Amino acid sequence: MRKFVAIGPALVVLFGVAAVMLAGPTAIRQMVFASNTAEVMLARQVIDDDDILQRIDRAVRNIAVATEPSITHIEVLIQSNGRQFGSASSGSGWVYDAEGHIITNAHVVGRASRIDVEFADGRVMRGKLLASDSFTDIAVLKVDPGIGVIPLRRASDQRVNVGERVFAFGSPFNFKFSMSEGIVSGLGRNPETRGSGNTFTNYIQTDAAVNPGNSGGPLVNAQGEVIGMNVAIATGRNGDGVRDGQSAGISFAIPLGVIESVVDQIIETGEVRRGYLGIQADRIAAQTPIKDIEGNFHGMGVIVGEVLTGLAADRAGIQPRDIIAEINGNRITRWHHLRSVVTTAKPDSTISVKLWRDGEEIEVPVSLAEFPVENLYEESVRERLFEAGITLNLNDDRLLLVRVRRESSAYELGFRAGHFIVGVEDQMVNGALDFYSIVGRSEFNYGEPLKFVVEDQGGDRKEITLRVSR
């Protein structure tokens, strides 16, 4: 007898499976959406319950409100044809005191015929350059305060620490009264930079955005207090050792302690005097590890190479091969640290020097001498000549060009290795110190042309005018 198979139940199951397969993706999407909606609602509720970010925003806004009225935009004009003024450069500045002293970088106002100082409230005042110090890249302007100016608060005698939040103010790319944020990335830096020409400071490093136009603007802390002044951005060098002009996104500021030392002297006397220890670094190993008698490591220090007879260090009993570890509570691990701390102090002031000798720590009070003016210019002039392609050395008390880079501006103008520099402008050069002093006192470091008299090995002389970019 033939059997018949009932297919009804199977069809029901088949249709059910098909329905689930068709409806499943929609249901899954609905469940995922519901889950996402729940997460969003929960996150919004947490935001509403916790106002920490709003409080941070309020704090940052208050720093801007408290700082902006003390920021200035500086427009530098130069005179051409004896009458007309043309814009030469611009930068930033900040109010130092209620008397109308404005602080900026020396390189911002170096060639100014006229300086216009603009405030955030729209006031524009004529600024008078009281004095500038190219070795720290600090300049002091004076404006008529009129109805009044608001000085920035300063974090005097406060230690700056890596990781602290900082804010940079200024006019980057002429966007006036701008503010950027970052942290202190490092201290005691002595980098390759653009825009400083600096010799006697060790920088605060920060990742706050700093660009051309920020120069001279303040770097402030989370209390809205000045801790430094924006001065430069880090750059690399190409294969020939020339700065390629590309920023690495790292910026630097002159520490407040250096600023106050220089500015207060300029306001009081119109000139800057610097302390001088009277030592030279060991050329082979200026930085050296410190170990006690038992060989325990006590960090790094600077080893004394030579002690100049009759000067401050010699009078205090400091000896060659001593290792200087600390000055006035500041750790000294590199030569530029030592130089900055000493030159920030005034001549005839007494500093406390902690050093190590034969494995033992000694503390020595030192009454500082005054840094010889003639020696101040050498490093900055050498750097500017190097940028132009010239490497100098002293040969039998004569300045010899030991190298002139091919394709450099100096080479194209006719400078050659083997030439001697015998004169600058209308003055004959009498030794290295005389040369560096003449060039340093000119506007050469700020981009002005300068005439050099060179003599070849045969005794023939010629005049070459050289100009380096700012």
In the three-class reduction of DSSP (H, G, I as helix; E, B as strand; rest coil), residue 112 is classed as coil
Distance CA 299, CA 113 (A): 50
* Spatial contact of 156 and 107, defined as CB atoms under 8 Å apart: no
- End-to-end C-alpha distance for the chain, whole angstroms: 111
Residues 90, 92, 215, 380: which is the catalytic one?
A: 215
Phi, psi at 94, each rounded to 5°: -155, 155
Residues 133, 137, 282, 322: which is the catalytic one?
A: 137
User: Is 185 noted as a catalytic residue in this protein?
Assistant: no
What is the token pair recorded at 364?
């020595």
Distance CA 446, CA 298 (A): 43
In the three-class reduction of DSSP (H, G, I as helix; E, B as strand; rest coil), residue 468 is classed as coil
Length of the chain: 470
In the three-class reduction of DSSP (H, G, I as helix; E, B as strand; rest coil), residue 292 is classed as coil
Residues 73, 101, 107, 336: which is the catalytic one?
A: 107
The residue written with tokens 């249709």 in the block is 15
The 8 Å CB, 24+ separation contacts for 423-426 are: 423/452, 423/453, 424/450, 424/451, 424/452, 424/453, 425/450, 425/451
Distance CA 210, CA 170 (A): 8
Give the CA dihedral 5, 6, 7, 10, nearest 10 degrees. Answer: -110
Radius of gyration of the chain (CA): 32
Name the residue type at position 236: G
User: Is 137 noted as a catalytic residue in this protein?
Assistant: yes
Catalytic residue ranges:
107, 137, 215
